[in-house]
Amino acid sequence: MGLAFKLIAQRISLGILLLFAVSVLIFVGTQILPGDVAQSILGQSATPENLANLRKDLGLNDPPLTRYFNWLGGIMVGDLGTALTSGANISEAIASRLGNTLFLAAVAAVISVPTAIFLGLIAVRYKDRWPDKLISASTLASISLPEFFIGYLLILVFGVKLGWFPTVATVYDGMGFGDRLNAVMLPALTLTLVVLAHMMRMTRAAILNVMQSAYIETAELKGLSSFKVIWKHALPNAISPVINVVMLNMAYLIVGVVVVEVIFVYPGMGQYLVDHVSKRDVPVVQACGLIFAAIYIGLNLIADIISVLSNPRLRHPK
Amino acid sequence: MDLKTIPLSAWLGIFSTSLFAFAAIFAPLIAPYGLSDVVGDVWEPMSREHLLGTDNLGRDLLSRMIYGARTTLTIAALATIVSFTLGAFLGMAAAVIGGWADQLLSRGVDLLMSIPTLIFALVVLSVMPANILTLILVMGILDATRVFRLSRAVAVDVNVMDFVEAAKLRGEGRIWIITREILPNALSTLVAELGLRFIFMVLFLSALSFLGLGIQPPEADWGGMVKENKDGIIFGIPAALIPAGAIAVLAISVNLIADWILNRTTDLKGGRGGN
């Protein structure tokens, strides 16, 4: 277990280091760019007094390093500051929205991951026959379709014409699980369609890679059915790359959520971020940016850790 | 190159991409109405006067689509040029120089890529002035990270070849080695990537405009037009799907071409180039 433990500890510390570097990057990106933040918030018509006041409120007169550590220190204790435009506490606003976003992403994941793996297996089983070709073609379509095309098409068909699901994904506190699920069904389906093809294709590639091994030939020669060969012999050995693919797509889901939330007017983090980018509310944008980046880095980290853990050679070194 | 060997899918891609390019170049000549002329009722259905109907303000949708093609394609192309020039040059330079310069650039790119592109673009756009130059630079620089990785990987392979060694021994400078030895050998891979990056730019720009953070009205681009017409969807008016569909068709066409180029270059690597 020693080697695997060491590797994991290494990955985690690297992840933390990366997160710090990202926080610096986000801070630098919003503070030390040519545009004056106070000027861009107040616009061209601002009086010098207003500008000076706002600069003082924002702490823009402090040296950048002080401002960075004040900001970082706040984040460490869960204080993300207050929004410039509304004066609301950002941590409180984000808490409920983050829950909504994670719920949406989780529903999308529950639908897309099993479907993708199942269809990936089908593609391997019927390699170079029509199910495989269909899956390859759908990958091309799926990386080319913008999220809003899928989203509005689903709204038009399932929301407006058929009336099966609500066209706007409204959720509120105290809503029952069933209602909530019904409300997020169309956005979750949109996200599923966005990541499905890619996940499917990568699963197919990962399993096909394993299928070249000698032990697969043995399994085939001893007369096992092709599904059994794939399921019992290929899949367990392909689990690490498949999980990697799944995690990468989950990371993509979290990002794809931004556009999808705007399409469906869903009260999540993405909508919150976009609203405040156009209002030029820098503290909110920084906070959201950092949280999105942290989730993204975290999921990539989990993918790394799982691939270490699922490798028996690393778990039981000689 | 033998025209007969181009597969049907690539022809389809070339045909519809040229159609879009034609519309973009000759927009003022072929658009039946002006960009912002109100010529009818709000969200009129398709008719002989308005082939694609009218939009949320009663403007001719077809005309706006044609002008939109111009904006979308131009800005995506410019951003792709920024991304390629920057990424390819730095990537090859990193491979040729090696050592600390390579480390610095590669780790910097790793850091930039650890934040999702759209999120980082939103963070930066929240403080930058909203104009087209900013947009092109932000999109170009963020995307240059992908080109950097690819061109560095290709250049590292080429850099150890004998002919590069010979050039170094001849005393050629680094710039010469990058432009005369490495670039020609990396070109085919980069050209296939060019198509994919261009499509990514179209989708990226459209997403930003759709979120209201890209091209600002009254200019028209496809992503912005989806945003303008999205409220019609709830009343069963599909106007927003037309620009969204155009983006999809363009993306698929360019992908078909890129696929073909990619297959062709892998065939060439096989040595015989039989097809």
Kindly report the nearest CA distance between residue B171 and chain A, in angstroms. 40
Best of B115, B197, B234, B241 to substitute, by most chain A Cβ atoms within 10 angstroms, is: B115
pLDDT tens per residue across span B202-247: 999 999 999 888 888 878 889 888 888 888 887 878 888 888 889 9
Q: Which residues of B touch A31 (CB under 8 A)?
A: 127
- Tell whether B157 is covered by a domain: yes
Q: Which residues of B touch A258 (CB under 8 A)?
A: 118-119, 122, 211
Write the CATH number for B239.
Answer: 1.10.3720.10
Q: Decide if B244 touches A, using CB distance below 8 A.
A: yes
Whole-number Å distance between alpha carbons of A116 and A272 = 30
**Which of the 8 DSSP states describes residue B237?**
-
Residue B215, classed as helix, strand or coil, is coil
Query: Residue B192's domain spans which residues?
Result: 10-27+54-264
- The answer to whether the Cβ–Cβ distance between B127 and A33 falls below 8 Å is yes
Q: Which residues of A touch B127 (CB under 8 A)?
A: 29-31, 33, 35, 37, 40, 280, 282
> Which positions 205-224 of B are in contact with A (Cβ < 8 Å)?
206-207, 210-213, 223
- The answer to whether the Cβ–Cβ distance between B127 and A37 falls below 8 Å is yes
pLDDT tens per residue across span B67-124: 888 889 999 999 999 999 999 999 989 988 888 889 999 988 988 888 888 888 988 8
Q: Could you tell me the CA-to-CA distances from B159 to A14, B102, B130, B167, B185 in Å, in that order?
A: 30, 14, 41, 11, 10
Domains defined for chain A, CATH in brackets: 91-280 (1.10.3720.10)
Residue tagged 């980018």 (tokens) = A277
- Tell whether B269 is covered by a domain: no
- Tell whether B45 is covered by a domain: no
Q: Which residues of B touch A147 (CB under 8 A)?
A: 207
Q: Which residues of A touch B113 (CB under 8 A)?
A: none
Half-sphere exposure of A162 (CA within 13 A, CB side): 9
Asked whether the predicted pLDDT for residue B51 surpasses 90, the reply is no
Kindly report the nearest CA distance between residue B177 and chain A, in angstroms. 33
- Tell whether B49 is covered by a domain: no
Residue A175, classed as helix, strand or coil, is coil
Average pLDDT over residues B10-33: 86
Q: Decide if B234 touches A, using CB distance below 8 A.
A: yes
- Tell whether B136 is covered by a domain: yes
- Locate A26 and state its tokens: 């986000």
Q: How many domains does chain B have?
A: 1
The amino acid present at A98, given as its one-letter code, is L
Binned at pLDDT 50, 70 and 90, residue B272 comes out as very low
Q: Could you tell me the CA-to-CA distances from B17 to A228, B199, B206 in Å, in that order?
A: 45, 11, 17
* Closest to B82 measured CA to CA, from B242, B194, B165, B183: B194
Kindly report the nearest CA distance between residue B216 and chain A, in angstroms. 12
Residue ranges, chain A, pLDDT below 50: none
The pLDDT value given to residue B204: 92
Q: How many whole angstroms from its chain centre is CA B213?
A: 18
The pLDDT value given to residue B270: 43
The pLDDT value given to residue A184: 85
- What is the ipTM score, two decimals? 0.82
Q: Model-level pTM?
A: 0.85
Best of A28, A40, A145, A269 to substitute, by most chain B Cβ atoms within 10 angstroms, is: A145
- Tell whether B59 is covered by a domain: yes
**A138: closest chain B residue by CA:** B252
- Tell whether B36 is covered by a domain: no
- Tell whether B186 is covered by a domain: yes
pLDDT tens per residue across span B139-181: 999 999 999 999 998 888 888 888 888 888 888 888 888 888 8
Kindly report the nearest CA distance between residue B120 and chain A, in angstroms. 7
**Which of the 8 DSSP states describes residue B182?**
I
